[in-house]
Amino acid sequence: MVDPSRQAIAFISDHADPAAEIGMEEAGGQNVYVRQMGENLAALGWHVDIFTRKSNANDLSIVQHSPHCRTIRLTAGPETFIPRDQLFEHMPEFLDNLQKFQTKQAIHYPLLHTNYWLSAWVGMQLQQKNNVQLIHTYHSLGRVKYETMQTRPAVAETRLAVEQQILEQANCVVATSPQEKEALRSLISQQGQVEVIPCGTTPNFHCIPKATAREKLGWHPQERVVLYVGRFDPRKGIETLVRACAHLKEMGTPHLKLVIVGGSSVERLDGPERKRIETLVDHLDLVKQTHFAGRIDHNWLPWYYSAADVCVIPSYYEPFGLVAIEAIACGTPVIASKVGGLRFTVIPEETGLLVPPRDVDELAVAIERVLQDELWAKKLKKQTSHPHNSRFSWKNSAMQLSDLYRYILARSIMHDQPWNPKISRLPGATDPLRIAAV
């Protein structure tokens, strides 16, 4: 039931289930984003329904996160895990079930916030039929992703077309960093409105004394701990980090320990990337120095960040990169690739260092500098712990998003006519798919 005094908004997050375990193969930043934005927007007076695909038959169909924020899992294809690249053909069913839910519950959402390109496609179909305001957040860009792939998936052309169309047709696109906005303008289109609203962290990401955190985790005080937190995805560049650590070991760095957080801790599929990284660790004779911690709950992560000497984000691309601000909020210096939103969140020589992506030698030098130069590392830690550097909070992000929604809804009423986007065909979408969807 929706409280009639609240404005209802729908988040669409096709594959990223906000109620799922974060850190496993395809669950990461987007899941955190929709959950945190949803809950914080509900606290600001909205009613937020987050629609996602049901990927496990045993999962509940509705998960209530707080009194006015819930996740609704819709059937779209078999109720089992399906990789993102194979989900497009199930989006018409997702759309159909979303509309059925709305009719059954008699809810109208004047504002849709879509996340990722598959959701953008769903949002655009709804926008064609209803007077709704459409907001979109990309989370990942096909144009960037495909640059690093040797073979593009069959759905690539459709994705690229949808990503251009949503930028030009949505009432507003929310970029999470100025760098993402820049990328949208230079790689996708000059048309359409883009506003920057950064991501945040929750207050539980805070500094814990290193010795206390190490004791809690059973880590030795002498160890020099290099931490990675995130999914196993080739775009994350874990290979570069492993190679840099092997280099450091060769150079004689004492007490080196690499902790890799993310993925599954039980016998479940993490995809081929985990296997590939494990093989590499073995091949580089780094098994003794490496600990695969598996998926760690968000509530436990502050202990890991606080216990580490340095957190490394070796990604090839990041629109934002939540891990950077989480580590910084825990007072841990970050060494990150000089790409995307990491150039926004990591301040070189103040909260960490930026290095070129894929550059094993430069990364090794940067890690060595933090591990060896104790005085500088202490200064860095002190600066990182400064409240000024914990400036990102989900509460603030949701407040900015709430203002944007209000502005867009007010603008639509003032214009007193439905948004009338230029409707064009989606290349790659077959006719039966379109007929089924609209």
Q: Where along the sequence are the contacts to ligand UDP (CB under 6 A)?
A: 22-23, 28-30, 32, 229-231, 261-262, 295-296, 298, 301, 320-323, 326
How deeply is 300 buried, as exposed, middle or buried, from its count of CB atoms within 10 A (0-12, 13-18, 19+)?
A: middle
Contact present, 122 and 95 (Cβ < 8 Å): yes
Least separation, in Å, of the C-beta of 229 and ligand UDP? Answer: 5
- In angstroms, the CA 311 to CA 334 distance is 5
In the complex, minimum distance from the CB of residue 34 to ligand UDP, in angstroms, rounded to a whole number: 11
For the bound state, the minimum distance from the C-beta of residue 231 to ligand UDP, rounded and expressed in Å, comes to: 5
Residue among 330, 294, 296, 335 nearest 315 (CA): 335
Q: Among residues 309 and 326, whose Cβ is nearest to ligand UDP? A: 326
CA 345 – CA 328 distance, rounded (Å): 9
Hey, what's the torsion of the CAs at 11, 14, 15, 21, to 10 degrees?
Answer: 30
Give yes or no for a contact between 177 and 320, defined as CB atoms under 8 angstroms apart.
yes
Question: What's the min distance (Å) between Cβ of 199 and ligand UDP?
Answer: 7
Q: What's the CA gap between 141 and 423, in Å, rounded?
A: 22
Q: How many CB atoms lie within 10 A of CB 156?
A: 17
**110-149 burial string, b = 16+ CB within 10 Å, else e?**
bbbbbbbbbbbbbbbbbbeeeebbbbbbbbbbbbbbeeee
Contact between residue 277 and residue 194 where contact means Cβ atoms under 8 Å apart: no
Using CB positions, name the residue nearest to ligand UDP. Answer: 28
Q: Kindly state the smallest distance separating residue 148's Cβ from ligand UDP, in Å.
A: 14
Q: Which is nearer to ligand UDP, 123 or 262 (CB)?
A: 262
Q: Which is nearer to ligand UDP, 22 or 126 (CB)?
A: 22
CA 438 to chain centre: 29
- Residue 76 near residue 84, CB atoms below 8 Å: no
The runs of H, that is alpha helices, within 130-223 are 142-147, 156-169, 178-183, 210-217
69: tokens are 């924020």
Which of 64, 59, 84 has the alpha carbon at shortest distance from 75?
59
Nearer to ligand UDP, 15 or 295 (CB): 295
Residue 320 C-beta: closest distance to ligand UDP, Å: 6
In whole angstroms, how close is the CB of 96 to ligand UDP at the nearest point? 28
- Our CB check for ligand UDP shows the closer of 297 and 416 to be 297
Nearer to ligand UDP, 294 or 428 (CB): 294
CB of 15 to ligand UDP, least distance (A): 12
Closer by beta carbon to ligand UDP, 258 or else 323: 323
- Could you give the 3-state DSSP secondary structure of residue 9? strand
Nearer to ligand UDP, 97 or 202 (CB): 202
Smaller CB separation from ligand UDP, 14 or 326: 326
Q: C-beta of 434: minimal distance to ligand UDP in Å?
A: 30
